[in-house]
């Protein structure tokens, strides 16, 4: 007879006790402070896999008092108490699943209306979709707290909808972040708000508007500014807009799993909040700015297990499709629209009246060269952001002066007793990256710059110049990023997203965009049509010619167009690239080496590291940064054939006195 060993019984008994103990502690309620605009109670939830992600962190907001709840009322109780059946989240979602869109494309009912009524800005976009009175329960389960849905734009909008996780397109081997998905059924998930208050488990955010900005591909900060921020500003600046932005909490939906929300996202979106301090004193930014968050904080917050409700939730940058579906628990075969929200590639900003919008603002449009002064939207956006951000400071000039003194003290260039405004110093930032497009000889150039005694002003007096490394990946807060760039007199860096924060530099500061070397061998192919030769020239190799344009601004440089900055360009040559250095000088052999299987990926302009001759940096500082008389003719002479002046402020020769007003000029090649 097969007998079980009796000594296993005590082990089995202990195991049962441990399981029960673990189950009890898994749902043990405790009250603690949360960095949020409201602080609901939290539930420690036992998970079989980690739910938080290292790339996403909770953003600090002003704390409020803690609300305690009945320990017997959990979000699971909400489902049981009201007999709710939450649509299941797809925990086994395929991050590479293709989109299969069906149904009719939804369009905004107010987008093309031309009347005097004022609606909220998101109602003028086909890619913004808003719902009312919605709550997130335990583990990303959503429901409405009123049984009311309608397509009337002036009333509560509570349709059945599903937020899809799949990006519009995939590139560079990335995959979708499947955590950002939700499913809301307006017919079966109805909980009266009065009952929720009786249970005392749901907390309503005091911020009335929560906006999720989809950023598919625009996770790169330059594209985010040009494609998301610009269109968002166009919507907000519409003459019909009727909302104060300080009532808004923003979230950024980064569509790709291996991409993260950056401090630059938070900094830029903080500029969408025009703070209006009482009296003469503004509030310090660390305690007053409502920083943007990741959409993961909304869908799967760090402290999951609480019921959080929002008066209005807006998804902006999505394509919405809808189908007709039968309503549940009805005897009259009623139907309603079921919406699917798919991540899009942009925020649609079309409207009847948007300030400063012209076709020549397109960064790839040749109209920029024909009429470069027509497009003003980038200048307006920069001014709007800077005005709002500066309102967060008691005195922005004092904060910047102290930050500059800190830079000089760390390098022993001034002593601790110095308390001046540092204007006698020119602080030049050299933009560095931690990976891809690394400036290889940056340290050597800083040594030459900081040891160079040849810097002199036009009056032959000694100039004080200090070159510093600017790497936004080494900053710790959005606040520090802002002060760092605001403290610079000049920023020099290769074409790329790391140049975006130059937007926060002071008026008339200098930006030098180093244009990557894009090799090309032009060939001409001719064919005859009715005996008439038609010839076409094309580039044999060298992808990325748009990054090195000198006849109109580059895709990054367009954000400085018609702004108060001085924007220059310099075309790097073959010596900036370390690959295939020992190859014959023959262009064909060079091409063969660079495009070989071994070097093809390293050769791509957005992957390759680079080096710069130190004379480029020294000459730029001498010719432009240290100039005191900005006469247009003199600047053209100084630019010669090396530099292009995309956007500069100078004085006419006939009125070149220091007191004469500066005029905006564009000198393209």
CB under 8 Å to 243, separation ≥6 — which residues?
120, 121, 209, 236
Name 258's bridge partners. Answer: none
Q: Looking at the structure, tell me whether residues 564 and 659 fall in a common domain.
A: yes
pLDDT tens sequence across 30-44 = 222 223 222 222 222
Check residue 443 and give its pLDDT.
95
Domain range holding 261? 24-343
CB-CB neighbours of 307 under 10 Å: 26
* Cβ atoms within 10 Å, residue 457: 14
Residues 338 and 206 reside in one and the same domain: yes
The answer to whether residues 328 and 442 belong to one domain is no
Q: Are residues 324 and 441 located together in one domain of the fold?
A: no
In a domain, 283, yes or no: yes
Query: Count of domains in the chain?
Result: 2
Apex CA 581: angle with CA 575 and CA 583, to 5°?
A: 130
Tokens 């074409």, residue located: 495
Among 202, 207, 162, 201, CA closest to 311: 207
Give the end of a domain, one of 289, 309, 343: 343
Q: Which residues pair with 649 in a beta bridge?
A: 664
How distant, in Å, are the alpha carbons of 227, 263, 430 from that of 476?
Answer: 26, 8, 18
For residue 240, the model assigns a pLDDT of: 60
Residues 228 and 179 in one domain: yes
% of the chain with per-residue pLDDT over 90 = 37
**Is there a single domain that holds both residue 339 and residue 369?**
no
**Higher-confidence residue: 363 or 127?**
127
Question: Comparing 583 with 439, which gets the higher pLDDT?
Answer: 439
Question: Are 170 and 96 within 8 A, CB to CB?
Answer: yes
**Cβ 165 vs Cβ 300: under 8 Å:** no
If we measure between CA atoms, which residue out of 212, 203, 173, 171 comes closest to residue 296?
A: 212
Whether residues 332 and 404 fall in one domain = no
Give pLDDT, residue 50.
Answer: 26
Q: Are 297 and 434 contained in the same domain?
A: no
Per-residue pLDDT reduced to its tens digit, 383-422: 999 998 888 887 889 999 999 999 999 999 999 999 999 9
Q: What pLDDT band is residue 462 in, cutting at 50, 70 and 90?
A: confident
Does 15 fall in a domain? no
pLDDT higher than 70, residue 340: yes
**Of 343, 378, 405, the domain-final residue:** 343
281 lies in some domain: yes
Which pTM was predicted? 0.82
Across 530-628, the runs of DSSP E, i.e. the strands, are 532-539, 566-571
Is it the case that residue 130 has pLDDT exceeding 80? yes
Residue 557 lies in a domain: yes
- The arithmetic mean of pLDDT across residues 92-113, rounded, is 80
**258 and 367 part of one domain:** no
Mean pLDDT of the chain: 78
Q: Model confidence over 236-283: pLDDT tens digits? A: 887 666 556 668 999 999 888 878 899 999 999 999 887 655 444 444
Of 71-80, 210-219, 504-513, the one with minimum mean pLDDT is: 71-80
Residues 490, 377 share a domain: yes
Length of the chain: 669
Q: Are 189 and 215 in contact (CB under 8 A)?
A: no
């Amino acid at each position: 007879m097969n007998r079980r060993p009796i000594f296993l019984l005590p082990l089995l008994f202990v195991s049962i006790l441990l399981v029960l103990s673990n189950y009890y502690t898994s749902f043990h309620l405790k009250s603690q402070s949360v960095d949020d605009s409201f602080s609901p109670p939290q539930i420690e939830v036992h998970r079989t896999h980690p739910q938080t992600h290292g790339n996403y962190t909770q953003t600090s907001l002003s704390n409020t008092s803690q609300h305690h709840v009945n320990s017997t009322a959990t979000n699971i109780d909400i489902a049981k108490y009201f007999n709710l059946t939450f649509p299941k989240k797809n925990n086994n979602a395929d991050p590479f699943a293709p989109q299969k869109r069906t149904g009719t494309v939804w369009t905004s009912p107010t987008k093309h209306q031309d009347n005097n009524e004022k609606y909220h800005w998101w109602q003028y976009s086909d890619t913004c979709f808003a719902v009312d009175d919605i709550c997130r329960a335990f583990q990303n389960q959503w429901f409405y707290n009123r049984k009311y849905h309608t397509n009337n734009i002036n009333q509560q909008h509570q349709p059945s909808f599903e937020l899809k996780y799949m990006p519009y397109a995939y590139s560079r081997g990335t995959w979708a972040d499947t955590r950002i998905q939700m499913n809301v059924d307006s017919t079966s998930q109805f909980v009266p708000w009065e009952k929720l208050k009786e249970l005392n488990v749901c907390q309503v955010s005091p911020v009335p508007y929560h906006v999720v900005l989809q950023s598919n591909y625009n996770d790169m900060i330059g594209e985010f500014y040009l494609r998301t921020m610009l269109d968002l500003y166009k919507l907000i600046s519409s003459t019909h807009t009727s909302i104060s932005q300080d009532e808004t909490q923003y979230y950024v939906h980064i569509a790709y799993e291996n991409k993260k929300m950056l401090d630059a996202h938070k900094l830029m979106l903080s500029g969408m909040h025009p703070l209006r301090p009482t009296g003469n004193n503004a509030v310090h930014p660390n305690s007053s700015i409502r920083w943007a968050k990741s959409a993961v904080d909304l869908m799967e917050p760090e402290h999951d297990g609480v019921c959080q409700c929002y008066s209005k939730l807006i998804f902006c940058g999505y394509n919405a499709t809808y189908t007709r579906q039968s309503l549940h628990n009805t005897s009259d075969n009623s139907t309603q629209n079921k919406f699917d929200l798919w991540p899009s590639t942009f925020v649609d900003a079309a409207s009847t009246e948007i300030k400063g919008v012209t076709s020549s603002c397109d960064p790839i449009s040749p109209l920029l060269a024909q009429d470069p002064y027509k497009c003003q939207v980038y200048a307006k956006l920069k001014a709007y952001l800077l005005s709002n951000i500066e309102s967060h400071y008691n005195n922005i000039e004092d904060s910047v002066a102290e930050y500059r003194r800190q830079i000089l003290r760390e390098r022993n260039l001034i002593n601790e007793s110095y308390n001046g405004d540092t204007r006698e110093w020119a602080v030049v930032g050299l933009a560095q990256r931690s990976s891809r497009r690394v400036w290889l000889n940056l340290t050597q150039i800083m040594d030459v710059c900081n040891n160079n005694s040849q810097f002199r002003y036009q009056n032959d007096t000694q100039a004080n110049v200090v070159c510093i490394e600017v790497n936004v990946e080494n900053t710790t807060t959005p606040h520090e990023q802002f002060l760092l760039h605001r403290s610079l007199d000049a920023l020099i860096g290769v074409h790329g997203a790391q140049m975006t924060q130059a937007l926060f530099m002071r008026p008339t500061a200098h930006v030098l965009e180093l244009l990557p070397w894009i090799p090309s061998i032009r060939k001409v192919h001719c064919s005859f049509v009715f005996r008439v030769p038609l010839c076409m020239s094309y580039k044999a190799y060298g992808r990325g010619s748009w990054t090195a344009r000198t006849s109109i601004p580059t895709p990054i440089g367009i954000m400085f167009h018609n702004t108060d900055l001085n924007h220059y360009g310099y075309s790097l040559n073959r010596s900036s690239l370390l690959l295939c250095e020992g190859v014959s000088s023959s262009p064909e052999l060079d091409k063969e080496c660079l495009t070989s299987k071994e070097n093809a990926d390293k050769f791509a302009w957005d992957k390759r590291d680079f080096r710069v001759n130190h004379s480029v940096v020294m000459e730029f500082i001498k010719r432009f940064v240290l100039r005191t008389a900005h006469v247009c003719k003199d600047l053209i002479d100084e630019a010669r054939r090396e530099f292009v002046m995309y956007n500069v402020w100078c004085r006419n020769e006939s009125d070149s006195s220091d007191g004469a007003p500066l005029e905006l000029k564009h000198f393209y090649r």
